[in-house]
A and B are shown apart, each in its own frame.
Chain A
Amino acid sequence: MGSLQLVGFVGPSVNWWALLPQIILLGAALAVLLVSALAPQRASTVFTTVTTLCAALTSFVVALGLWSDVKADGPSSSIASAFGVDGFSIFFTVLILIGLATTALLSHGYLDREEMDPPEFHALLLCSAAGAIVMASANDLIVMFLGLEALSIGIYVMIAMHHRRSEARESAIKYFVLGAFSSAFLLYGIALTYGATGSTNLVHIRSYLDAVVFQDQHLLMAAMALLLVGLSFKVAAAPFHFWAPDVYQGAPSPVTGWMASIAKAAGFAALLRIFFAAFASHDVDWAPIVGALAVITLVIGSVMAILQTDIKRMLAFSSVSHAGYVLVAVHSASATGTSAALFYLFTYTLMVLGSFAIVGAMGPDDEHPLSRYTGLGRSRPVIAIGFTVLLLAQAGIPTTSGFIAKFQVIAAAVESESYFIAGVSMVTAVIGAFMYLRIVMAMYVVDEGEEGPRPIWHWTTSVVVLAAVGFTIIVGLVPQFLIEFARDAVPVLVRG
């Protein structure tokens, strides 16, 4: 009887080519696990790192191929419109792959130093990256949720893998409990969206909302609120940011970088796809709330950052305030705003990965006092100037990518006539700058005869820092190419 039903079942057409990037990553994850399980001795760090890098590179090439397809034939979607292939998904795929390669390089020295198991770490990292790509590309809320869980579960375990440190386990539990909690919000929001619109598919939701005028839209409003809360947890927007400083501080530094950059970027990808693309016709309902969240996030992130004494906690709060800037761009609910958000996320990802690369290399993860950086400008001038560039970029000082990113965010806010929010974001930028200056000051202002630290430096860290700093300055001087990339990457919902 079961066989009879199966005969009648026609599966949706699958564009395997579009799924190839994440399939490659998952395949590499399996390969790493299999080889390490079957091989007579434990797989070496070199093997796992090289595998991950190769997977990222292959995936990257495929993504570029998809990009030229989208350029030629326009956006499309696959598997019954559940999976979108547009500039947006490829933009995030590229970003996530860059983050993946960077994190793999950073973990290389770290895993050896901290005697952690490389195959498991890399397999989880690859799964997590695949989940992030799914999340950014999903045109269906359920698929998006699956991507989110794949991303998050990988991170929970990667944090906890540092089993000799109780702080790491504490962080993992904290992140897990709050993450599960926020997932529940998100799921409830998905359920209510289904109740309000009759579908979980964003393409259907969009066309339904465009066509129907609600007499009573409480259900939809509740759905939007719950979705926003769930995703705000993921991107660490205030007042849902409380986990961020503790978890960032306790997690191994490469994982912190991964969380602060890619987990946040994927969260924003989902936010933009749901709110900007699917709920576009209801932007008068959600934009003010996003604007309020943005203001709260900016203020809390920048003010709390200057009260911290631990570098990782400082950077955690600074990443909260960066979420605020992206929210300002999302708030404007326009194509300009969305491309500003994308530009911001791209440049921010490289800044934050470079920063955490340096933080991780400066010494063990138990604590990161500011005093560890005293005199770095004299003992290791190249690292210090690199860190300075990354910090000033985060403060939004001109000739760095951070300034161009902030400029576009402010321009989007001004264009949507949100002058108050634009003003708040610039004032909080000044407050935040104080925190970055404290670190710069520690590195450069030393008393006579004081000697700086000489951290042990793995060459992979140098590669990452050099690339991040180079990218930050190049985009700061000639940003045109990235602006165009971000403009072409505004999400489009197409029935496939």
Chain B
Amino acid sequence: MMQLLTAQSVASFPVLNALIIVPVVGALVVVLLPNSRPELMRPVGAIFAAIAGAFSLYVMAEFSVQDPGFQLQSIQSWIPSLGINWHVGVDGISLWLVVLTGLITPIVLIAVDPHHDPKPYTAWLLLLQAGSFGAFLALDLFLFFVMFEIVLVPMYMLIGGWGYDDRRYAATKFFLYTMAGSALMLVAIISVATLSSGGQDITFNVIELAQRQALSTNTARLCFLAFVLAFVIKVPVVPVHTWLPDAHTQAPTAGSVVLAAVMLKLGTYGLLRFGLYLFPEASVWAAPTLATLGVIGVIYGAIVATMQKDLKRLVAYSSVAHMGFIVLGIFAFTTQSLEGGVLQMINHGLSTGALFLMVGMLYERRKTRAISELSGIQSAAPIFAGFFTVAMLSSIGVPGLNGFVGEFLVLIGSYETRRWWTVIAATGVILAALYLLWAYQRVFHGEPTADDEKTADLSLKEGLVLTPFLVGIVFLGVYPKPLLERIEPAVNNLISHLEDHSDYVQPDPGAPVVVERDHGSKDDH
């Protein structure tokens, strides 16, 4: 561990390694704290998580805006006889996910009281942060797999240890579903590395493997499918989404927030980083199918969300719909759609994270999440209702808030290459307004019962905890440029990589759309 921190040659401070190591050290420190001081656990853990968060902000500051490649890279030899290195780096696609991970974990640690066993709770959350950082930063396939799989253990423990009634079932289902997905990915990882080596030393270096493109078309497609299976389960894409509502509903609030804000992004991030980048030809080949699945997710998630009786389950299904948008954006292969997809990952983290936090707060007050048992909360807790409204509107995609920017970019970008998919997905925006507003109406409007009237409004601490989410939601809705200008070079780089290694050519934005519109209008006459 010390070696990773000190053995740096040129680059100044190995901040990316520190990102992964600080939470691990924090977890160890928390474990060593005396059991007689349970009140110390969460603050100490939050300090370490916040240090990691500060490092992630430092990464953001150090990040050079126009550089499309991987920055702040650090390579250490790890298992030389298997060709495995500790290789981390950040680019415009992973940067904001890293920042999101860095900021969400300390907030969650401060915000949510586990009620029992604070020591393991804090330690698992810190390990979850470390693993998520590792997965977003890994540029070595082996390291990525290690991180991708290791995050299952803390989340499993959080759901199992601090979840609700059906937590055994939900935790096991979550673990096995995700593990089953990644099982074949390991075979594919080894196959890619072995078959690309071509007699040379075997390497798991993502950049090098992406440049080599040494696999035959069919092999590459099979390996791509194995990767995709792992990622679509994680996203989750319909029809392999069934673990998500259970896991979200049974998980403690902290688990739900991190699961929605960070862990689901491992799937979409994996599709971008390892699907498109390693297998450009296969991605283009499979794009229609995957975009279709994404659109099905948008519609299906929205319809099922409308039917939900449980507020948390409703938010969980809205995740399925939102993640479907991101998948559509990824497999539309245009600059705007990919930018929108990456931005929407952040947006979803903010809006859904905030919604899960607030549903958790509501549950703390009322010990129920059933929509039918709640009504008229607005009159009892107006500030709470106000916060909820903003997060909800962001989730719906109302202009002026962040959700609109992301969805708009996805739709406008996808329209050029996947017109009919986009048309159908756009109706998902309307459905989102339907289920969220309807739920809001039932829970917050109407006549409050005696119980509802006693519902306490937000405390100062809860308000402070939610404020960063709301600031992010409004800021990104009004001024998304700082994010987009860092995302765009990496996205363009990825698209030109796609164009180099497949027969795909990005349509010239603007011109073809106008021409086709003219054709359309002529037909109408």
Contact = CB atoms under 8 A, between A and B. Distances in A.
A153 to B, nearest CB: 39
Interface string B44-81: 00000000000000000000000000000000001111
Nearest to A426: B183
B146 A403 contact: yes
A6 to B, nearest CB: 53
Contact of A483 (B81, B142, B179, B190): B81
A419 interface: yes
B214 interface: no
B172 A414 contact: no
Given A397-B150, A426-B183, A430-B183, A441 B160 contact: yes
Contact of A398 (B150, B156, B161, B176): B150
B145 A410 contact: no
Contacts of B194: 411, 414-415
Given A441-B171, A483-B81, A487-B81, A433 B186 contact: no
Contact of A410 (B79, B147, B176, B186): B186
A403 B79 CA distance: 13
Given A397-B149, A441-B171, A423 B184 contact: yes
Interface string B142-159: 100111011011001100
Q: Is the contact region of chain A dominated by helix, strand, or loop, or is it mixed?
A: helix
Given A378-B117, A437-B176, A483-B79, A445 B160 contact: yes
A427 B176 contact: no
Contacts of B456: none
Contacts of B150: 397-399
Interface residues of B, number: 34
Nearest to B179: A430
B175 interface: yes
B423 to A, nearest CB: 39
Contact of B153 (A397, A404, A411, A483): A397
Interface in A448-496: 478-480, 483-484, 487
B28 interface: no
A303 B191 CA distance: 27
Nearest to B1: A477
Contact of B175 (A398, A399, A433): A433
Interface string B483-504: 0000000000000000000000
Given A378-B117, A430-B176, A437-B175, A419 B187 contact: yes
Contacts of B82: 407-408, 411, 483
Contacts of B383: none
B124 to A, nearest CB: 11
B172 A437 contact: yes
Contacts of A415: 194
A10 B179 CA distance: 63
Contacts of B120: 377, 381
Given A411-B194, A441-B168, A398 B183 contact: no
B478 interface: no
A418 to B, nearest CB: 10
B207 interface: no
Contacts of A381: 120
B190 A411 contact: yes
Nearest to A445: B160
A427 B176 CA distance: 10
A378 B119 CA distance: 11
A414 B186 CA distance: 11
Interface string B176-195: 10011001101100110010
A419 B192 CA distance: 12
Interface string A390-402: 0010000111000
Contacts of A445: 160-161, 167-168, 171
A426 B186 contact: yes
Nearest to A476: B146
Nearest to A479: B79
Given A397-B152, A407-B186, 4 more contacts: A407-B190, A419-B187, A433-B179, A441-B168
12 contacts: A378-B117, A398-B147, A399-B150, A404-B79, A422-B187, A422-B190, A427-B184, A438-B172, A445-B168, A480-B78, A480-B80, A487-B81
Interface of B: 78-82, 117, 120, 142, 145-147, 149-150, 152-153, 156-157, 160-161, 167-168, 171-172, 175-176, 179-180, 183-184, 186-187, 190-191, 194
Please list the 8 inter-chain residue pairs (A to B) with the smallest Cβ-Cβ separation, ordered nearest first: A426-B183, A398-B146, A430-B180, A445-B160, A422-B187, A414-B190, A398-B150, A411-B190
